[in-house]
Structure 1
Amino acid sequence: MVFYFKALPTLGDYTIFMGLDKHENEDLIKYGFPEDIWFHVDKMSSAHVYLRLHKCQTIDDISEGLLDDCAQLVKANSIQGNKVNNIDVVYTPWFNLKKTTSMDVGQVGFHNSKMVRTVRVVKRLNDTVNRLNKTKVERKPDLKAEREAVNAAEKAERKLQLRDKKRREEMGRLEKERQLEMRSYKGLMVSEKMTSNKQIASSAKSLEELEEDFM
């Protein structure tokens, strides 16, 4: 089971989601999207909360309001973190999550600690948490199938881009050959290298002169 929430509409059309338990968290870790940003209460147990950014967006594109929504949701879903003030929430891109066979279910590390950011949550904001909970939807998605569908679409897009690149390169090559051919043809048509019909006529012997030469 995965729970889906909608951020404040004025912040944009963004989906925030989290797994029911550590087993769903494993699948979310395994089948995440490059646009996903992972959130967790620092040094405490909590839900693994994800924000799905739009295509081509990065962690730097997260607005302050959107960051607050994610941080409040992850705090509210931490048994210990929800009881105390002034907690830190860490967040990082999904692709920075590191999972090894020695780790417990739901446990993660980071490939690059420098890509991990921290936001301080002073206290729980009930208005924010209640608003998010009103948008809550429960689903049982096939995360593997969703990820495979995205992979297939991205592969098809790359093939299309490669085909278009090759077509542009071929058109450029043909145009270059045409330009070279045109320059070569123009070189043959230079006036100094040409003889007009008038010049031929003036320099040619007349019929009478040819007869005299023959005689």
Structure 2
Amino acid sequence: MVYYFESNVVSPSTTLFMGIDKHENEDLIKWGWPEDVWFHVDKVSSAHVYLRLKSGQTIDDIPSTVLEDAAQLVKANSIQGNKMNDIDVVYTMWNNLKKTPAMEVGQVGFHKEKEVRKIKVAKRVNDIVNRLNKTKKEEFPGE
């Protein structure tokens, strides 16, 4: 199952999606698209959140408000990260994710560290998390 959220801070709204657990995250790693941007709390366990860029859009074109929505969603869906202040959320293009057989389920590395970006999240912003959660839909892709 995948959770889908609508970030309506831009027009037209954009979709964020997230795996329900580490096994779902594993499928998302495997089946990602080249235009997907992956988000994760740095250095602690968290959900994997994705943003699918529109045609012709690059990682540099993501509005700061959408970055903040993705970062808040990742933070809110991290057992440790949700309790911490001043965390970093890392994000990179899906094709920069590196998965080796020796890695645990849901764990990834990067092909190029220089292509990993960070956004600082000072604290959880409940208004953002609540707004996103109101748009949450559960779907089963491929069924």
User: Which band: TM-score by shorter chain?
Assistant: over 0.9
**Percent of matched pairs sharing the same residue:** 68
2:17 matched to which residue of 1? 17
Counterpart-to-counterpart distance in 2, 1:81 and 1:11: 29
The structure carrying a bigger strand percent of its residues is 2
| Residue identity in the other structure for 2:101 | T
2:124 matched to which residue of 1? 124
Do the aligned residues in 1 keep the contact of 2:9 with 2:66 (CA within 8 Å)?
no
TM-score, normalised on structure 1? 0.65
Equivalent residue pairs, number = 143
TM-score, normalised on structure 2? 0.96
Cα-to-partner distance string for 1:4-47 (whole Å, 9 max, x where unaligned): 00002535331100111111111101111111100000001100
1:160-199 superposed matches below 5 A: none
Counterpart-to-counterpart distance in 2, 1:81 and 1:12: 30
Runs of 4+ in 1 over 4 A off after TM superposition: none
Counterpart-to-counterpart distance in 2, 1:96 and 1:139: 26
| Residue identity in the other structure for 2:61 | D
Counterpart-to-counterpart distance in 1, 2:10 and 2:75: 22
Counterpart-to-counterpart distance in 2, 1:9 and 1:54: 16
Larger RCO of the pair (alpha carbons < 8 Å, separation 6+): 2
Q: 1:138 to 1:116 in 2, by over 3 A?
A: same
2:86 matched to which residue of 1? 86
Q: Tell me which structure has the larger Cα radius of gyration.
A: 1
2:67 matched to which residue of 1? 67
Do the aligned residues in 2 keep the contact of 1:3 with 1:20 (CA within 8 Å)?
yes
Consecutive unaligned residues in structure 1, runs of 5 or more: 144-215
Do the aligned residues in 1 keep the contact of 2:48 with 2:74 (CA within 8 Å)?
yes
Cα-to-partner distance string for 1:138-161 (whole Å, 9 max, x where unaligned): 001029xxxxxxxxxxxxxxxxxx
Instruction: Let me know the Cα RMSD of the aligned residues.
Output: 1.2
1:5 matched to which residue of 2? 5
Counterpart-to-counterpart distance in 2, 1:51 and 1:9: 14
Counterpart-to-counterpart distance in 1, 2:84 and 2:99: 29
Do the aligned residues in 2 keep the contact of 1:11 with 1:66 (CA within 8 Å)?
no
Consecutive unaligned residues in structure 2, runs of 5 or more: none
